[in-house]
A and B are shown apart, each in its own frame.
Chain A
Amino acid sequence: MKTQLYLTLTFLPILLCITSCRDDELVVPTEYDIIPENPAENTEIRGFYLVNEGNMGSNKCTLDYFDYFTGLYARNFYAERNPNVIKELGDVGNDIGIYGSKLYVVVNCSHKVEVMDARTGIRLGQVDIPNCRYTRFYRGKAYVSSYVGPVLIDPQAPKGAVYEVDTLSLSVTAKVTVGYQPEEMEIVDDYMYVANSGGYRAPNYDNTVSVIQMIDFKQVQQIPVGINLHRLKKDRHGKLWVNSRGDYMSRPSRLHVLEKKKGYNQMIVADTIPIACSNMAIHGDSLYYYATEWNNFTASNTISYGIINVNTRQVVSTNFITDGTEKEIAIPYGIAIHPETGDIFVTDAKNYVSSGTLYCFDIKGHKKWSVRTGDIPAHITFLPL
């Protein structure tokens, strides 16, 4: 009888011995990888930052940094540089930009723009902007698009806004209402162009590009372009390239070109290129794009990569990855071109809830290297010397 009892009782401490203890929660450490890469000759680029979005609710927006001079890729750089920030960088990064000496990261579900010193990554402050999306800079100000414009004009469908932020005081100085759920922006000749998606209103998507006159920061026009607009990039000739995502069903994704009407200071839709486009980056006269389209019939994604000549508006290549690496990429999610070398960076978000991969291809489309990133690697900005 007693042996049974002791058997049972010894079971309890055994249970405690094989299990491990809870430790202090450590600040998430940065991890380093060595990249076989040298700085270009006479380069003016020191490195680049990559923001990983992180899945919604996971608070796993992280910042990676690659330095061409040390050859080190630093994964999850923010937390170690700023250990005192409660709950780190935040939830769902959406854009990144450098202006002057400052680095700006738009953190969508933390409703803030995080401002850091561009060289050290040390936090300088934050600007609270609800549901913020993308950022651009112009004449000492940062502009941030946001899904939240006026509060309670039409509670069912509030319009979005572009916020103006003073880059010295890091405070919001002005705000202008634009279309529904605005995304990317560009500034051409004192006018800002904003792509409105209307994503919260599906199936009644917005289809306009808002035009903001920068002198008095007022919306002066909305140009109908195509439904569910997202990316908006300018080329060196002052033309705008905007993609529409379609409705994911009967209306396909397209790429639109806006340019000024001859003799007028007014943008018009000059062309719609019959290709699907999810994201793009422009280098010289080459527009690099990729598209991910879901095919219900085969239950798989169709992924395409290509180059468009911005002058002729013709597709000049249907694959800028030439060594077969594209087969490894599950979900291309971000694209950037090195401004000097023309190296092409493509990120793979995989299943959105595991580490992604950053690929670097040379201008000929051969893979140079790849590295593990955080969750959903997406947006890249280059750091000048």
Chain B
Amino acid sequence: MERGLSFLFLLAISVGPIHSAPSTDTLDTIKLKEVVVEAVNPNREVIPTQQLEGEELRRLNSNSVADALRYFSGVQIKDYGGVGGIKTVNIRSMGTNHTGVIYDGAELGNAQNGQIDLGQFSLDNIEAISLHNGQKSQILQPARDFGSAGTIYLRTKTPHFNEGRNYNLRGTLRFGSFDLLNPSALLELKLSERTNLSLSTELVNSSGKYKFRYRRVNPAGEIAYDTTAVRQNGDINATRIEMNVNGMLNNGEWHFKAYNYNSERGVPGAIVNNVWRRGERIWDTNSFLQANFTKNSGIYSTLNTAKYSFYRTHYVNNDDKQIKIDNIYRQREFYLSSAHEVSPSNWCHLSASYDFIWNTLNADMYGFAKPDRYTNLMSVALALDWQRIKLQASGLMTFVHDRLKGQQSPADKHVFTPAVYTSFFPFSSSDFSVRAFYKRSYRMPTFNDLYYADMGNSKLAPERVAQYNVGVLYNRTGRGFVSATRISIDAYYNKVHDKIVAYPKGQQFRWTMLNLGVVEIKGVDISANVTVNPYNDLYVTARAQYTYQQAIDITNPADNYYRDQIPYIPHHSGSAVINVVWGDWNLNYSYIYVGERYNQQENIRYNYTQPWYTSDISASRSLHIGQVGLRLLAEVNNLFSQDYDVILNYPMPKRNYRFAITIEL
């Protein structure tokens, strides 16, 4: 029933305007201004890329970067629910640790567990999110960027000043369900013709309280139980301060960033029989400083990056019924990268990069090994760009040396990972292309995998992945009734070797980590979007995405889950977005579908998890009162109030609302 409704709704708003009188017009100039167009022509890309940017990104009902990533194909989000709930991303079922997240040119690292909580990254100051299966098409990049199996790039807003102005000021207030109060401010200053500064701050405060419902019926159709409760201990209070200074040089530019995120969160925990609230809390402080500069002088270009980050996590379990825990973890990372590219001719580019990373982790725990890690990475890449064929090949060598306090250091690790990408234009027009890639990548065992008290195994080897992909892309922009169309289809085969899994050890609930698993993934990603302009300043954009995945465990034929779909990977998933822009008005409908999954390795009825699908709508209006720009937004999420779990026993919110007022000076 619910699906029927949403389906009708979707058709109604998508088919409706199409039969209106066709007309041509250029895009609303006010809209255009906000879209910072990167110099990259999408048709030049060799590598499958998905991108959300500017207005399109802002219109999606998303709280965080993780929410926005749900609209990309081949991506699965683990969402523990609520404003403060942890959200991690898994690209093409290879595992969260194989996803690199790059924030304005420098990778976000977490040597402790290798996972980035993308729920912590607000969309407030993000201008573009792009997802690359493998690596970026530009070969001038840090060596580390060649390393991940899939990479997400987050780019913050670059200041843009209108004629005669030397500052911009934007203030936003978001509020709504979960007692959310989320003010943010952005100040942009033009320091000189060649330098500018932006300061972005944000506060998120929410009780995290929401109603959720568990309901069961017996086979006769009678209600067995039906209970609604309020999610407890999901409160969050977080601040973010971010400063960027950008400068132009002769044939180059430089950027400096200082970032600080502070939060106190409750950990809501699993809802199980007789337990409706828990006492775990986490305080996070994530700070980093980063700087990079690029220079391009004819045939030679260079990109240099330096970053220092400090993460502090304080975890407390206050539950009277459980073991008392009060631990502080401190992580530091120092990162240096130098990348160089030479272009002997305009169809041939060569690059070489060297990165150095130092990581350390300290915890006030019994038996903690206090590891530090030295990573040296070297990459070489070649890009060839003929009329019809583009080719990119790269190789990355990684050396890892760990040191432990008071213990013998484990053996050094080194991995070589090559990649080859190609795209081919069979027709004279560049609208249609065929592409293929092969990439090997790895993930280093994290400090937790290696050294966590009692559980870590310092003998672990890196977990390795091989990816094979073929696809087609049709991309055309033009004028007329249909102003833009983009359809891409990719089929892929991935194999994860030496997957690091927890293995039971000795008695009771004791585990160790072993390089045991083998996972085979076959999938198809399809995405399409089309923009039509049926009437004057009415634009309708439809965007849809579908993923099929078979991700099976082929570790050991003796396991009772041999060849079963791995946990939390649906066979089918997809999303659809319909956006209508009419003058100052904007209406957005988005639909997300995640198919049936299993919450444990065995694909049996007891582990079956139902599909979930939510519909979100939002409406916004832009106003101009003199020099002041105003934007009002109202959104309804989970419109049909579906009661679902993304992760077993972590209930998601029912219907919820959010409002925003933005003032621009």
B182 touches A (CB below 8 Å): no
CB of B274 within 8 A of CB of A5, answer: no
CB of A15 within 8 A of CB of B273, answer: no
CB of A148 within 8 A of CB of B320, answer: yes
CB of B649 within 8 A of CB of A59, answer: yes
Nearest chain-B residue to A75 (Cβ)? B606
A354 to B560, CA, bound (A): 8
A272 touches B (CB below 8 Å): no
* Of the residues A19, A353, A375, contact of B595 by C-beta under 8 Å: A19
B412 touches A (CB below 8 Å): no
* Of the residues A11, A27, A31, A76, contact of B217 by C-beta under 8 Å: A27
Q: Smallest distance from the beta carbon of B592 to chain A beta carbons, Å? A: 11
Q: Which residues of A contact B179 (CB under 8 A)?
A: none
Q: Which residues of A contact B593 (CB under 8 A)?
A: 15-16, 19
B165 touches A (CB below 8 Å): no
* Of the residues B215, B511, B648, contact of A58 by C-beta under 8 Å: B648
Instruction: Tell which of B225, B321, B323 has the most Cβ of chain A within 10 Å.
Output: B321
A8 touches B (CB below 8 Å): yes
CB of A20 within 8 A of CB of B611, answer: yes
A112 to B457, CA, bound (A): 35
Q: Smallest distance from the beta carbon of A296 to chain B beta carbons, Å? A: 9
A8 to B14, CA, bound (A): 11
Q: Which residues of B contact A13 (CB under 8 A)?
A: 7, 11
Q: Which residues of B contact A24 (CB under 8 A)?
A: 215-217, 221
A107 to B642, CA, bound (A): 30
A24 to B220, CA, bound (A): 12
Known contacts A1-B481, A19-B595; decide if A25 and B610 are in contact (CB<8 Å).
yes
A125 touches B (CB below 8 Å): no
CB of B320 within 8 A of CB of A4, answer: no
A128 touches B (CB below 8 Å): yes
CB of B218 within 8 A of CB of A83, answer: yes
A9 to B532, CA, bound (A): 11
Q: Which residues of B contact A156 (CB under 8 A)?
A: 324
Known contacts A26-B216, A109-B272, A301-B505; decide if A355 and B602 are in contact (CB<8 Å).
yes
Q: Which residues of B contact A374 (CB under 8 A)?
A: 606
The stretch of A66-74, A86-94, A95-103, A317-325 in contact with B is A86-94
Q: Which residues of B contact A22 (CB under 8 A)?
A: 2-3, 610-613, 642, 644
A256 touches B (CB below 8 Å): no
A329 to B214, CA, bound (A): 37
Nearest chain-A residue to B649 (Cβ)? A59
The stretch of B340-348, B356-364, B422-430, B523-531 in contact with A is B523-531
A12 touches B (CB below 8 Å): yes
A18 to B572, CA, bound (A): 8
* Of the residues B271, B273, B507, B514, contact of A107 by C-beta under 8 Å: B273
CB of A110 within 8 A of CB of B275, answer: yes
CB of B505 within 8 A of CB of A83, answer: no
CB of B7 within 8 A of CB of A151, answer: no
Q: Which residues of B contact A86 (CB under 8 A)?
A: 214, 225, 227, 273
B574 touches A (CB below 8 Å): yes
> Taking chain A's interface residues, is the majority helix, strand, or loop, or is none over half, making it mixed?
loop
CB of B487 within 8 A of CB of A7, answer: yes
CB of A202 within 8 A of CB of B505, answer: no
A238 touches B (CB below 8 Å): no
A89 to B512, CA, bound (A): 29
CB of A12 within 8 A of CB of B576, answer: yes
CB of B602 within 8 A of CB of A354, answer: yes
B604 touches A (CB below 8 Å): yes
CB of A331 within 8 A of CB of B504, answer: yes
**Interface residue total, chain A, C-beta cutoff 8 A:** 80
B10 touches A (CB below 8 Å): yes
Q: Which residues of A contact B323 (CB under 8 A)?
A: 147, 200
A8 to B506, CA, bound (A): 56
CB of A84 within 8 A of CB of B274, answer: no
A385 touches B (CB below 8 Å): no
CB of B272 within 8 A of CB of A110, answer: yes
B31 touches A (CB below 8 Å): no
CB of B272 within 8 A of CB of A26, answer: no
* Of the residues B3, B275, B542, contact of A8 by C-beta under 8 Å: B542
CB of A299 within 8 A of CB of B320, answer: no
CB of B509 within 8 A of CB of A56, answer: yes
Q: Smallest distance from the beta carbon of B613 to chain A beta carbons, Å? A: 7
CB of A4 within 8 A of CB of B596, answer: no
CB of B514 within 8 A of CB of A299, answer: yes
A90 to B649, CA, bound (A): 11
CB of B274 within 8 A of CB of A131, answer: no
A135 touches B (CB below 8 Å): no
A274 touches B (CB below 8 Å): no
Nearest chain-A residue to B530 (Cβ)? A8
CB of B610 within 8 A of CB of A299, answer: no
CB of B274 within 8 A of CB of A110, answer: yes
Q: Smallest distance from the beta carbon of B500 to chain A beta carbons, Å? A: 13
Instruction: Mark out the residues of chain A between 286 and 335 whose CB falls within 8 Å of any chain B CB in the assembled complex.
Output: 291-294, 299, 301, 330-331
Q: Which residues of A contact B271 (CB under 8 A)?
A: 59, 87
Nearest chain-A residue to B454 (Cβ)? A248
Q: Which residues of B contact A126 (CB under 8 A)?
A: 274
Q: Which residues of B contact A203 (CB under 8 A)?
A: 366-367
A40 touches B (CB below 8 Å): no
A32 touches B (CB below 8 Å): no
B546 touches A (CB below 8 Å): yes
CB of B507 within 8 A of CB of A1, answer: no
CB of B510 within 8 A of CB of A248, answer: yes
B622 touches A (CB below 8 Å): no
CB of B217 within 8 A of CB of A19, answer: no
Q: Which residues of A contact B576 (CB under 8 A)?
A: 12, 15
A375 to B526, CA, bound (A): 37
A200 to B324, CA, bound (A): 8
A115 to B311, CA, bound (A): 47
B620 touches A (CB below 8 Å): no
CB of A84 within 8 A of CB of B225, answer: yes
Q: Which residues of B contact A353 (CB under 8 A)?
A: 600-601
CB of A83 within 8 A of CB of B482, answer: no
CB of A16 within 8 A of CB of B482, answer: no
Q: Smallest distance from the beta carbon of A33 to chain B beta carbons, Å? A: 13
A374 to B242, CA, bound (A): 50
Q: Which residues of A contact B459 (CB under 8 A)?
A: 299
B584 touches A (CB below 8 Å): no
CB of B10 within 8 A of CB of A12, answer: yes
A291 to B504, CA, bound (A): 14
CB of A354 within 8 A of CB of B561, answer: yes
Q: Smallest distance from the beta carbon of B589 to chain A beta carbons, Å? A: 11
Encode contact with A along B239-279: 1 for CB under 8 Å, 0 otherwise.
Answer: 00000000000000000000000000000011111110000
CB of B320 within 8 A of CB of A8, answer: no
Known contacts A18-B572, A19-B593; decide if A110 and B506 are in contact (CB<8 Å).
no
Instruction: Mark out the residues of chain B between 189 and 238 whose CB falls within 8 Å of any chain A CB in the assembled complex.
Output: 214-219, 221, 224-225, 227
Encode contact with B along A132-147: 1 for CB under 8 Å, 0 otherwise.
Answer: 0000000000000001
* Of the residues A9, A60, A111, contact of B14 by C-beta under 8 Å: A9
A21 touches B (CB below 8 Å): yes
B28 touches A (CB below 8 Å): no
A354 to B271, CA, bound (A): 20
CB of B546 within 8 A of CB of A15, answer: yes
B29 touches A (CB below 8 Å): no
B18 touches A (CB below 8 Å): yes
Q: Smallest distance from the beta carbon of B228 to chain A beta carbons, Å? A: 11
What 6 additional pairs, Cβ within 8 angstroms, besides A5-B482, A15-B574? A11-B546, A16-B3, A26-B219, A109-B275, A203-B366, A354-B601
Q: Supply 16 A–B pairs (Cβ within 8 Å), ascending by A.
A: A4-B530, A11-B528, A12-B544, A20-B611, A27-B218, A31-B605, A58-B648, A59-B273, A83-B225, A109-B272, A112-B273, A278-B507, A292-B507, A350-B504, A351-B503, A353-B600
Could you tell me which A residues sit within 8 Å of B by CB distance?
1-2, 4-5, 7-9, 11-13, 15-16, 18-29, 31, 56-60, 62, 76, 83-91, 107, 109-112, 126, 128, 130-131, 147-148, 151, 155-156, 200, 202-203, 245, 248, 253, 278, 291-294, 299, 301, 330-331, 349-355, 372, 374-375
Ranked nearest first, the 6 interchain pairs of A and B with the lowest CB-CB distance are A90-B273, A83-B224, A91-B272, A130-B321, A294-B506, A59-B272
